Amino acid sequence: MTTGATSTSNADVVREAARRRTFAVISHPDAGKSTLTEALALHAQVIAEAGAVHGKSGRRGVVSDWMDMERARGISITSAALQFSYGDAVINLLDTPGHADFSEDTYRVLSAVDSAVMLLDAAKGLEPQTLKLFDVCRHRNIPVITFINKWDRPGRDALELCDELLERIGLQPMPLTWPVGDSGHFRGVLDRRTGELIRYHRTAGGATIAPEERIGAERAAAEEDADWLRACEEAELMAASGGEFDPDQFLTAKATPVLFGAAVLNFGVRHLLDLLVELAPRPAARHDVDERPRALDAPFSAFVFKVQTGMDPAHRDRVAFARVCSGVFERGMVVTNAATGRPFATKYAQQVFGQQRSTLDVAFPGDVIGLVNATALRVGDTLHDGKPAVRFPGLPSFAPAHFAVARAAELSRSKQFRKGVAQLEQEGVIQVLRSDRRGDGAPVFAAVGPMQFEVAAHRLEAEFSCPVRLEHLPYTVVRRLTDPMHRNLVNSAGRSEVLSRSDGVELALFTDRVALNVAQRQYPDLAVEPLIAGTE
């Protein structure tokens, strides 16, 4: 149901969807992900100056890192959405947390994109967190473009880095540019499509767009001599070994275009942005829970992949980020929340650019919309207009690996404590487990990584004026309890207990595998099963 009929035709919806490029940037911590995100925005001319500059004393926070903890530590600990235009395209760029402790947030973001940019450090190549994130992309068949960053610093050999992509993750590299000069002695790149040298010129601190100079092959050979000859020979070697560009291989996630650059200097960034506009997949029909494709021009539908509070400290409002899957969104629509069957008014809809927000009137498939004061929405909810109802698959919870009892440091702040814990749970900042034995005053925080505890404690104190005490629990083995009648068996087995999650799942926690084995020998019929690695 809506507040009024839309004047946008089905053809308009399909045409607007084709303009969208919705992608995430994934990487290991410190590979330069937030710097690249900001450099892309700089090249699209939506910001005048990049936020990251050389030197710790002169560092400013980037647009996508808006939390004070992010600015203090210089790492991304929450995802961020940035929308901007580039030529005729509309870019929806989702910056993801690089730290492994926030994999759950990254997984949710990857559910909302059509492609990804995998950022590699030229000195380190594929790192553990990058591998984990790529596995998610592979599982979801998300096409990946690889950007090998920090070529202005000493690093590994370009051929070695490309070989690693094929050998370790089975992804055929298809270089579209090739570095001229070893890492640390960056002379520019060979544009394999034109055969030209693209030479970049530094700007002060890399804060503004780096000028580019295109040089023909003959002049490049004369000026760069051995470096140019080597680049041409290595590029030809890559082509002969299966590295010729094939768009179908890219779109089916079997191969990856590769670019070289230095995001902090804005070298190679425009090439990446142009490539995304040219090659990245457009929004397509998304399958609902019954595996039926939802056509782009079907009535409006979207799913919530993130809920965030505290982006505006002056108001502490709550924003639900939703990916539009079909139809046209118009601010003021009254849509249905498929999870509850209840109407939801969209009066306060915003376009998000990091922490900055502006009123959004219309959005199309592929866009990310921010719904403000959306207290009724949770991660995984589907919104739709009209009938019949549609529901997209929910987002799974990761298997927690760390546990701590949380208590308000001051009893007088108990009300604020309960309110804050409920909010963090709804946002998915941390999983909250409860039991009758512990009571509401001492919930158990469950996390994928220990830094989630720091974020939860920081936000409870900063946003709710409620310092907390955390008592870490010794549990290391988690199982799903499949028969609630066996709850007392686990609780009485020793070195174990059962805690309930808000979605109704009951988790049996054991101090170690020995404790689990003892419980299973003591109670042979104990109904527990492993959680799937990574997600449930």
- Rama region for 3: left / alpha / beta (φ>0; ψ in -120 to 50; rest): alpha
Statement: residue 6 has pLDDT above 60? no
**Whole-prediction pTM:** 0.80
What are 322-359's pLDDT values in tens digits? Answer: 999 999 999 999 999 999 999 999 988 887 665 667 78
Contacts of 237 (CB under 8 A, 6+ apart): 159
Give the model's pLDDT for residue 51: 53
Of 24-28, 153-157, 353-357, 478-482, the least confident? 353-357
Amino acid at the residue 280:
A
Please state the rounded mean pLDDT for residues 392-402. 82
Looking at residue 165, its pLDDT comes to: 96
Q: What is the pLDDT of residue 217?
A: 96
Contact indicator for 353, 83 with CB cutoff of 8 Å? yes
* Strand 402-408 to 468-472 pairing: antiparallel
Q: Is the CB of residue 190 less than 8 Å from the CB of residue 235?
A: yes
pLDDT at 99: 52
pLDDT band at 360 (very low <50, low <70, confident <90, very high): confident
Statement: residue 123 has pLDDT above 70: yes
**pLDDT (tens digit, 9 = 90+) per residue, 34-80?**
888 888 888 887 766 655 333 333 434 444 444 454 444 444 434 56
In the chain, % of residues over pLDDT 70: 87
> Token pair 């003021």 is at which residue?
332
Region 101-124: mean pLDDT is 86
pLDDT of res. 101: 56
Q: What pLDDT score was predicted for residue 534?
A: 42
Binding site per annotation, positions = 95-99
- What are the chain's domains? 21-279 (3.40.50.300), 286-384 (2.40.30.10), 402-530 (3.30.70.3280)
* Rounded Cα distance, 349 and 372, in Å: 6
Phi, psi for residue 100 in degrees, rounded to 5 = -60, -25
* Contact residues for 28 (Cβ-Cβ < 8 A; gap 6+): 98, 121, 124, 127, 128, 129, 130
Q: What DSSP string describes 228-270?
A: HHHHHHHHHHHIIIIIS--HHHHHTTSEEEEEE-BGGGTBSHH
Give the pLDDT mean for 89-105: 74
For residues 143-166, average pLDDT? 96
With a cut of 50, say whether residue 97 has pLDDT above it. yes
Segment 278-305 mean pLDDT: 96
Closest by CA to 435, choosing from 378, 493, 494, 508, is 508
Could you give phi then psi for residue 273, rounded to 5 degrees? -65, -45
pLDDT at 110 over 60: yes
Average pLDDT over residues 118-131: 91
Residues 81 and 113 sit within 8 Å (Cβ to Cβ): no
Query: Residues marked as binding for GTP?
Result: 95-99
Q: How confident is the model at residue 29 (pLDDT cuts 50, 70, 90)?
A: confident
User: What pLDDT was estimated at residue 368?
Assistant: 92
Higher pLDDT, 492 or 18: 18
Residue that the structure tokens 């690249």 belong to? 36
Backbone φ, ψ for residue 2 (5° rounding):
-135, 170
Q: Put residue 37 in one of left, alpha, beta given phi > 0 → left and psi -120 to 50 → alpha.
A: alpha
CA–CA dist 385, 302 (Å, integer): 9
Alpha-carbon span 14 to 326, nearest angstrom: 9
pLDDT at 515 over 60: yes
Residue-averaged pLDDT of the chain: 86
Least trusted range by pLDDT, from 105-109, 174-178, 456-460, 466-470: 105-109
- At 155, which amino acid appears? G
pLDDT-derived band at 277, boundaries 50, 70, 90: very high
The average pLDDT across 80-106 equals: 78
Tell me the C-alpha distance between 464 and 244, whole Å. Answer: 56
The confidence score (pLDDT) of residue 395 equals: 77
Q: Per-residue pLDDT averaged across 6-31, rounded?
A: 88
Residue 509 binned pLDDT confidence (cut-offs 50, 70, 90): very high
Confidence band, pLDDT 50/70/90 cuts, at residue 128? confident
Q: Is the pLDDT of residue 313 over 50?
A: yes
Top pLDDT among 288 and 374 is at: 288
DSSP classification of residue 108: H
